[in-house]
A and B are shown apart, each in its own frame.
Chain A
Amino acid sequence: MDERDIMGLIETLLFVSGDAIPVKRIADFLDMDLRKTRKLMEKLIDVFNFERRGLQIIRVNDSYQLATRPEYGEYIEKFFGGDKKQTLSQAVLETLSIIAYRQPITRMDIELIRGVKCEYAINVLMEKGLIKEVGRMEAPGRPILYGTTDLFLKSFGLTSLEELPPLEELEE
């Protein structure tokens, strides 16, 4: 198989999978090393973008997934008559951003920053799968530590936590 065949094959696998496929799984299957596979994936992403295909390949934490492009979102809603996906409320989003930048973090620390109770916001985020328990703090009561999930990255178009927009530094 030449490179084009392999890229076609990967595209096929991504389509059938629907879910994100870890790069390691692709590398193992093609019997290629990880570096080479990642390079090939980046190339495939470029091809999709260059040809302005309706679909794109997104990367989240070393996994790849086939997805539609955001600019077509409104047409999808029009065509299928569905409602726009619900966005998060301000309280929930603030809580999420504190968790994203400060993870792992306890509920108490989040509440300290926001100055209000965050139990509800945390429950909503857990239900939506945007955050998860990542452990317990070795402190009295062993409070739960929260962190973000891959779904969080995907929902905000990030490939890793390093891609979070930088926090404004405190004014001197």
Chain B
Amino acid sequence: MWEDYMDYHVKLDMFEGPLDLLLHLISKAKIKIEDISITEITEQYLDYLDKMKEFDVEIASEFLVMAATLLYIKSRSLLPKLKDEEQEEADPEQDLIRRLSEYKKYKEASEKLRERENIYSNIYYKLPEELVDEKEKSYSTLIEGDANDLLLAFLKLMAQRNFQKTERRVYPIIRRSVTVSQRIQEIKDILYKTYQCSFFQLLEDNCHRSDVVVTFLALLEMLKDNQIRIYQQGQFEDIIIRRA
């Protein structure tokens, strides 16, 4: 049974935990969980832990707890029982058997799931066409976003608008008249009329980079002051802005 030295080596890291190891020992002995002999199984279990030490495998604490439990059950069975005690205390052996059966159930279920996984991991899907985004918006539930989502949408917009990298070395410096507080007022006005609007809507197609920045800052400010709520469908998507 355990004589085959190489056997351990192959199987050492195979067990997912002490219950898994016990199930293995039980199935090797070809007995039902209910019929286990604690004395025998404890011996084999401790034997296995010894082998693990020999191979310098770090033994997880769970394995040691189980070893203690097994020894406890074994010692308990050796001691004469008082009648009262028998009734009051939960039987740790029955408890272990119940746990083993329970674990076995899910282990078997996971094997069935593995078969299904092997089949269905072979299925492929197509990505949505780009036009789907806009249309779906009204249908799917909105998720609440935070400042980070706002930032991502901002970055996406910056990339999209592709602020032309012109050859000119000299840039005219335009002093923009719109300040953040002015922009906040503008957004407030829009929201007052329409209840909600989107980040991309707030920016005209040919707007200046500074408009994007000012609008973004305005939204951050309003979000901080709890004047608005923002929603976003996913990363890099448009941001829906609503009155708080």
Chain A residues packing against B (C-beta within 8 Å): 15-19, 22, 25, 58, 65-74, 76, 84-85, 87-88, 90-91, 93-94, 96-98, 100-101, 113-117, 154-158, 164-165, 167-168, 170-171
How far is A163 from B189 in the complex, measured between Cα atoms in Å?
52
How far is A54 from B230 in the complex, measured between Cα atoms in Å?
42
B7 contacts across to A, CB distance below 8 A = none
- In the bound complex, do residue B123 and residue A73 qualify as a contact, i.e. CB atoms below 8 Å apart? yes
Contact A18-B126, Cβ < 8 Å, known A94-B16, A115-B62, A115-B66: yes
- Of the A-B pairs whose beta carbons lie under 8 Å apart in the complex, a sample of 26, sorted by A's number, is A18-B129, A67-B125, A68-B123, A68-B125, A69-B123, A70-B119, A70-B122, A76-B122, A76-B124, A85-B122, A87-B114, A87-B121, A90-B16, A90-B110, A94-B16, A97-B113, A114-B103, A115-B62, A115-B66, A115-B103, A116-B17, A155-B120, A156-B116, A156-B120, A157-B120, A168-B104
A17 contacts across to B, CB distance below 8 A = 128-129, 132
A18 contacts across to B, CB distance below 8 A = 125-129, 132
Number of interface residues of B (CB under 8 A): 42
Partner of B117 from A22, A88, A114, A170 at Cβ < 8 Å: A88
B224 within 8 A of A: no
Q: Tell me, rounded to whole Å, the shortest Cβ–Cβ distance linking A74 to chain B.
A: 7
Contact A67-B109, Cβ < 8 Å, known A116-B60, A171-B34: no
- In the bound complex, do residue B102 and residue A16 qualify as a contact, i.e. CB atoms below 8 Å apart? no
- In the bound complex, do residue A100 and residue B113 qualify as a contact, i.e. CB atoms below 8 Å apart? yes
- In the bound complex, do residue A115 and residue B105 qualify as a contact, i.e. CB atoms below 8 Å apart? no
Majority secondary structure, B binding face: helix
B60 contacts across to A, CB distance below 8 A = 116
- In the bound complex, do residue A113 and residue B102 qualify as a contact, i.e. CB atoms below 8 Å apart? yes
B33 contacts across to A, CB distance below 8 A = 171
Q: Tell me, rounded to whole Å, the shortest Cβ–Cβ distance linking A95 to chain B.
A: 9
Closest to A87 in B: B117
How far is A58 from B119 in the complex, measured between Cα atoms in Å?
14
- In the bound complex, do residue B16 and residue A84 qualify as a contact, i.e. CB atoms below 8 Å apart? no
B4 within 8 A of A: no
By Cβ-Cβ distance, the 4 closest A-B pairs, closest first, are A73-B122, A116-B17, A18-B128, A157-B120
A91 contacts across to B, CB distance below 8 A = 16
A84 contacts across to B, CB distance below 8 A = 121
How far is A91 from B114 in the complex, measured between Cα atoms in Å?
12
How far is A46 from B103 in the complex, measured between Cα atoms in Å?
39
Contact A93-B121, Cβ < 8 Å, known A66-B126, A116-B60: no
How far is A115 from B155 in the complex, measured between Cα atoms in Å?
46
**For B17, B102, B106, B124, which residue has the most chain A Cβ atoms within 10 angstroms?**
B106
A90 contacts across to B, CB distance below 8 A = 16, 110
Contact A74-B17, Cβ < 8 Å, known A87-B117, A90-B110, A171-B32: no
B117 contacts across to A, CB distance below 8 A = 87-88, 93, 155-156
